Structure 1
Amino acid sequence: MKKAAYFLLVALFLLSFPSSDGAEAKMVITRTEHLNVREGPGTSYPIKRKLNKGEIYTVAQEKNDWVQLKLSTTETGWVSRQYVADMNENMQATVDRLRVRSAPSSQASIIGYLKLGQTVEVLDTNSHWTRIKNGTLTGWVSSDYLASATSSGTTSIQSKSGTVAVDVLNVRTKPSQQATILGKITFGQQVRIIGETADWYQIESPGSMTGWVYRTYIMTATLYITVLEDGTNIRSKPSLQSQIQGTAKRGQQYRVIAKEGSWYKIELSHQKSGYIADWVVAVVRNAGNTGTIKNKTIVIDPGHGGKDSGTIGSGGMMEKTMTLKTAQMLKNQLQVAGATVILTRKDDTYLSLAERVSMAEQHKADAFVSIHYDSSPDGTARGMTIYYYHSLNDYPLALSFDPFLSQSLPIPYRGIRFGDFHVLRETSMPSVLFELGYLNNAQESSIIASDSYQKQVTKAIVAGLQRYFSN
C-alpha cells in the first residue's frame, strides 16, 4: 500500500510539469521600446532592466495585468501585460532564402531555406536565435530576420513606387528600430513598396536590396515643399552666399527636383530651378497640402508650478515662472496657426505628473509638448535639448524640430535624446519634452528671460509642429 502511494505521488509530481514533448510554452513579443522589467507584478517594484521592441520571451506565469518572462535560464522579470503581445506561434521571414540551421549558431549546418513572407511556427528561442517549424522543416533561424505575423500586422500589397523624403534612411531586416541595418538609401531615391505595417514599409531599392523602412519618410506621390514664412529667399545655388533669385510667400508650394545637403532644388516657372533651405520649409505629401496644424489639438505642459518651483536660476528666476511664460506665448502662436491648444496649467498651480498626462488623454491630443528649463551642478552647462521616450511614437515628432532649433538661435542646440520621463512614458500620443536652456548659467538665463528669445524659440516650435503634421 505504501509502495502504491509512493508511485501515485511521483506520477502527480511529474504531471505537474509540462512534458518536453508536449505543448509548447506560451510566448510573447514586446510592443514598445525601453520596456521596464520589474522584480514583481506592479509599478511599486524596482526596475531591474529594460527590453527593446520586438524581443521574444517565454512566459513563466501571469498575474492580474502582469506577465512574468523568462529572461534567461536563471533570470525572470515582470512586465505590464499591455506592452507585450501573444505570439500565437506565428512569425514571418523578412528576407528571401532565410537559412534554417541545425543548431542556434551561424556555424551550424544549413538544413533548408525560407522564402520572403513565409509563415512559420515558433517553438523556442535561444539568445538571438529562434527555433521554427514549417511543414517537415524544423530548425533554427536568426531572430533578426523574423517578424511577428500577428503583432506586426504585415500586409502584402500590390507594389507601388515611393520616394525617400529624408537625407539618409536606414533599411532594416524587419520592422523594428532595433533590427539590423542592411544598408542606407538617400533623399529622392525611388523604391518599390511591396508590403506594409501600420508604421513601416517593406521596400525593394535599386541594387535588389529588400528590407524595411519607417513609412513616415517615404512619400508615395511627387515630393513638394511648402514655405513656412513670408519673404523666404530662393537662391541660385545651395548656399547663403549665393545670388537671391526671388522670394516666396508663406504657404507657396514647389515641386522638389533634388536634395543637396541642407537645400532643396525646386522647380520654378519657365523650366527654371532654384534652391531653398530645408529649415524654412516643410515636406508635404501632395500638392495642395499646406502643412497646416489647423484643427489639431496640442496640449502644452508648462513644467512645475505651485509648491514645485523647479530650478531656481541666476537672480532668483524660477523655472515654473519661465515655463508658463513660454507656454502662453506658444499657445498664442499656435492658435493663430489654427490649432486647438490646451494648457495643463494657466497659472501658478501645482499639478501631479499623472494629472498632466490625464489631461492630454482626456482631450485626445494629437501632440503633447512639455516645456522645461535646465540646470547643472556648477552652472557652466549651456544649451537646449529635446527628449523623447518611444522610438516610433515620439522620435519622429522630436526630429521635426531639429532643423529649426539648430539654426540661428542664441542658445546652442544639444540635439535629441532619450528621456525616461513620466509625462513622455505614460502618454499615448506623440510627446516631447523641451529643456530650453540652463537657468543657473548667468549668461544663458539673461537670454532666456528676453522677449526676443521667447519669440524665436516658440516660433521654432510652431514650425516644427507644422513640419510634423505635414508628413
Structure 2
Amino acid sequence: MKRKLSILLALVMILSLALPMMAGAETVSLAYKNGSLHLRKGPGTNYGSNGYVRDGDYITVLSKGSVWSKIETSAGRIGYIKNLYISGNGANYADGTSYFGGSYTGYVVTKYSGSSVNLRAGASTSTASMGQLRNGTKIKILGENGNWYLIETASGTQGYMSKTYIKSSAGSSSSSATQYATVTGSVVNVRAGAGTQYVVKTALTRGTTVKVLEKTTSNWWKIQWGSYTGYMSANYLRMK
C-alpha cells in the first residue's frame, strides 16, 4: 500500500512540473524555419541581447505589452520579443515555404516612385507588418510561399512580400525569369515526381548546372538538364 502511495505521489509531482510547460503553450514563430531571434533585455532593439530564441521554441508569456512581451524560455532565460513573433495556436509563419538553395538579388517595384510596400511576418496580408520598403529597395530573395517571396533586407530582417512588388536584378519579374542552380551533392537522383517514392530518371554529380522550372512547396524542384526533365530535392541545389 505504501509503495502504491509513493508511486502515486511521484506521478502527481511529475504532472505538477509539466503543467507550467503546458500552460505556456505559446511558441516562437519566425519567417524562416529554424531561424533565430535576439531575446532582448528590455522592450526594444536598443536593449542588449540575453541570448537567442529559435523558431518553434516553447515560451511562457510573463507580461504582454502593446508591441513587446516579456517572456521566459524553457531554459529559464527571461527577456523580451515582439508580439508578432509569438504564436499561441501552434501556427508558424514558415509553414508552406520552399527555400531556395541560396539567395538571389531582387528589387522592390511599386506603381508610383517614392511609394512603399509592407514587409509581412507571414505570407498573407492578415499577418503583422514588419515595416515598409520603398520602391527600388534592394533585397535578397530566399524562398517562396504561394504568391509571396521570403526576403531579407539589408539590415537582416526577414519577412514576406507579394511577388507582384518584386523584380529580379535583371529587370524582369522574379517569378518568370529563367533561373539556374548548381547540384551540391556528390551524386543526386533526378526523379519522375516530387518525392523519393518516384522512379529515378538519371543522376547528376556535384557542380552540374540545371535549369529550375518550378519550386514546389514540398521542397522538391522541377528541373531540366539536357533532354531530362524531372524533380530533385532542393536540399541538394544552390541557386546561381
TM-score calculated relative to the size of structure 1 = 0.23
Higher relative contact order (CA 8 A, sep 6+): 2
Larger radius of gyration: 1
Structure having the larger proportion of residues in strand: 2
